[in-house]
Structure 1
Amino acid sequence: MEPVSIAEIERVFRAEYGRAVAVLVRALGDIDVAEEAVQEAFTAAADRWPRDGLPPSPAGWIITTARNRAIDRMRRESTRAERQAQAVALLTPDGPPQESPVRDERLRLIFTCCHPALAVDARVALTLRLLGGLTTAEIAHAFLVPEPTLAQRLVRAKNKIKSAGIPYRVPQGADLPERLKSVLAVIYLIFNEGYTASSGERLSRAHLCEEAIRLGRGLVELMPDEPEAQGLLALMLLTESRRAARTNDDGDLVPLADQDRARWDRALIAEGQALVRRCLRRGRPGPYQIQAAINAVHSDAAEPADTDWGQIRQLYDQLLAYTPTPVVALNRAVAVAEADGPATGLALVDDLDDSGLERFHLYHAIRADLLRRLSRCAEAVAAYEAAIARTDSEPQRAFLQRRRALTDRCLGDPVAGPEGGER
């Protein structure tokens, strides 16, 4: 067999980590043991595959190796009957498949982790860790909380599962809608981390976007009468349609206003817009449907000047009523700046200075561009520097540094922020 590079092993890790953990959690009923076993299996792969080559089924190899590592650990640690019983269960061939409305292992694990006994933020964080393979720092960035706070949430969630005896079983059909809100949040956060990575040399992580969209499609198939599930899928498809245009040939970030719209994926746009129209006909609006509608308006504009910012502002008004969060208010301020001018938008941004957003780069980046458009150059420079200091994404940092270098000239060109307020 051909030798395998570390990059290829990393690709397999990204593609198969969530599936392997899902299979092992279902078999073991213990999150920590499942995670550790899968991590040990990938460590073994990093040692063997460069020498022995890629096995015929990399995913099967990882799952089998992880299962064997778990059996070995249980044998070593087995001082109680229950440990012995777990090891025996792992060695026993699987019985008949469990009847369930959820047929995908990873989607099943999302619903399992979204048990109502866990706090909502803990459900989301735990599932991101297990299925997305995201680090604690990446999840903390997605939650807009300090990393130590997020780490404590993960520990508490795992302890809660153990102490409360929360079963690893598939919820019945009647219980699915109760957990839908958390499931939607999990899938969307996985997508967001893929679309705009919180750290690293690349702007996006395509495998996370693909995984989130795959899970979204599965959710719509599972719950065809839930318009918010369709809204989330539409939102992801319409956002993903722009990914190829978000960077140039050198990998530099390209804001929405400067993107080559010929590079937008028209098939994804058509599918997303069809889902938005279907949601509108249902007449049961919700946050994901409204966000999808906002992105549908963007996708309707052949040129940036054609964008109907008035309609986008109205949609953000509706979204803010459903989801009155600082992040939504910040994005609404961008739309207001485009519709009514940068001074009006800046006043709204400045009203958010004690909302907690000042810890994150996007708040300062948007504020910097609005200040630049108002020719308040010294303040804009300071805001750009604050934004640069608060991002671990190399493409985002490079973009902000270029903007900061141009700020002294105060060109006043209408750029509404690092992503042009596209969300």
Structure 2
Amino acid sequence: MTARAIGDLLRELTPQVLGALVRRYGQFEGCEDAVQEALLAATVRWPAEGVPENPRGWLVTVASRRFIDQLRSDHARRERESATAAEVVPPEVPETDDTLVLLFMCCHPALTPASQTALTLRAVGGLTTAEIARAFLVPEATMAARISRAKQRIRAAGSTFGLPAGAEREERLRVVLHVLYLIFNEGYTASSGSELHRADLAREAIRLTRMVHAQLPEDGEVTGLLALMLLTHARREARTTAAGDLVPLDEQDRTRWDRASIDEGSALVKAALAGPTLGPYQLQAAIAATHDDAATAEETNWAQVHALYLILERIAPNPMVTLNRAIALAETQGPPAGLELLATLDADERMAGHHRLLSVRAHLLEQVGDPAGAYEHYRRAARATASLAERRYLEARAARVRPPARPGARGQAQ
């Protein structure tokens, strides 16, 4: 087995092994450290010795021994260690997959969204602290401290290892899906840095969402989120030039889109929309499918896109939804209608100075024949984004519509 295949297997087994230990010993922080040590041992030994016949059992055994070693080194826990150590050899390897339970724990409401995301990638995704730090462009020490605090807060909250019941379970599932959505979005369009996207992070979000979908195949929102990720990620190869510059949706070479992902995502959308309820991820997936169904940008069914955004706006009001509806409205009723809808967002503090609002307004101003207004808004949008790829694109658009300098004018803004 290749090193890459071993890495993929370890990531797949990480939540199962951690779930088995936490269910058995109840100490998330200590178990998570023990599992990381077992994974490190596997990356060293398996390439040389071969993958064991029961890799999951091997990891559970090694992690259990590491955990007991940790207890034995803590002299303040001698009595507890004696009771726990008796249970260790030989360790039982339960058949149950606790991945979903583990996701619920990582997305505990006591944690901030940033901590939920980091802990999910570490404990369920199997990423190292260094990998997570690189993905979010922060120092490794900062990410290590964030993950450590998250584990301490879970312990302080007295969280039990098990699925919550009733309304709490539904609410926690929504948090899990939101965290996976945030991970995917950061991978698909990086919020900062020189690269437009981080494919590894997007793929990891898809992999984790597949895990949830495997355990909850009848949940429409879980299905919708997986479909949305696949349909969106299918365009990744066409989103940038060879130099890494952004290519907008209407200018992309659609023959480069991943048809297998589109076909799978479209089938999932149909399954999601057939259910008794309709949620935000299902609607966003339906919008993505509408775009992916069009062979050319001109063939896009903008009336359907606008109708879907209108429904989404009603069930999950959000300024970004309104902004996207303005784009669809401009396509169906003309740029002035889109600009009028954008004006309703000016008083929203969440959108003040947001580069997406500025760039969409610039685009519509360009379409209505106001190059000066478009130039100003493109430049403001470029200054407002921390993504270098987006900044280059917006600066190029500004240069394209820049009004000619007046005769005799000096000191023209660059």
Normalization by structure 1: what TM-score? Answer: 0.72
The counterpart of 2:180, out of the listed 179, 187, 191, is 187
Judge conservation of contact 1:138–1:199 (CA < 8 Å) in 2: no
The counterpart of 1:216, out of the listed 191, 209, 214, is 209
1:338 aligns with 2:338: no
Partner of residue 76, structure 2: 79
- Residue deviations 1:74-93 (CA, integer Å, cap 9, x gap): 65554344774699489755
- Residue deviations 1:168-217 (CA, integer Å, cap 9, x gap): 34568998545322222222222212211223332222222222222333
Is the partner of 1:220 in helix, strand or coil? helix
1:388 aligns with 2:382: yes
Partner of residue 96, structure 1: 93
Counterpart amino acid of residue 96 in structure 1 = V
Judge conservation of contact 1:330–1:363 (CA < 8 Å) in 2: yes
Partner of residue 320, structure 1: 313
Counterpart amino acid of residue 385 in structure 1 = R
Aligned residue runs from structure 1 range 231-270, under 5 A: 231-270=224-263
What stretches of structure 1 of length at least 5 have no aligned partner? 142-147, 411-423
Quick check: 294-303 or 272-281, which moved more?
Answer: 272-281
1:370 aligns with 2:370: no
CA deviation after TM superposition for structure 1 residue 341, in Å: 2.1
Per the alignment, do residues 63 and 171 of structure 1 end up closer, same or farther by CA in structure 2, a change over 3 Å counting?
same
Report the Cα distance in structure 2 between the residues aligned to 1:232 and 1:189, rounded to whole angstroms. Answer: 11
Per the alignment, do residues 153 and 408 of structure 1 end up closer, same or farther by CA in structure 2, a change over 3 Å counting?
same
1:358 aligns with 2:355: no
CA deviation after TM superposition for structure 1 residue 386, in Å: 2.9
Partner of residue 269, structure 2: 276
Quick check: 353-362 or 192-201, which moved more?
Answer: 353-362
Judge conservation of contact 2:323–2:342 (CA < 8 Å) in 1: yes
1:198 aligns with 2:191: yes
Is the partner of 2:76 in helix, strand or coil? coil
Counterpart amino acid of residue 260 in structure 1 = D
CA deviation after TM superposition for structure 1 residue 39, in Å: 8.0
Counterpart amino acid of residue 255 in structure 1 = P
Judge conservation of contact 2:20–2:93 (CA < 8 Å) in 1: no
- Residue deviations 1:11-47 (CA, integer Å, cap 9, x gap): 96x996796577457636556556777889999999x
Counterpart amino acid of residue 349 in structure 1 = L
CA deviation after TM superposition for structure 1 residue 239, in Å: 1.0
Judge conservation of contact 1:195–1:209 (CA < 8 Å) in 2: yes
Higher Rg of the two aligned structures = 2
Judge conservation of contact 1:20–1:63 (CA < 8 Å) in 2: no
Partner of residue 307, structure 1: 300
What stretches of structure 2 of length at least 5 have no aligned partner? 405-414
- Give aligned-pair identity as a percent: 43
Quick check: 259-268 or 202-211, which moved more?
Answer: 202-211
Aligned residues: 388
1:288 aligns with 2:294: no
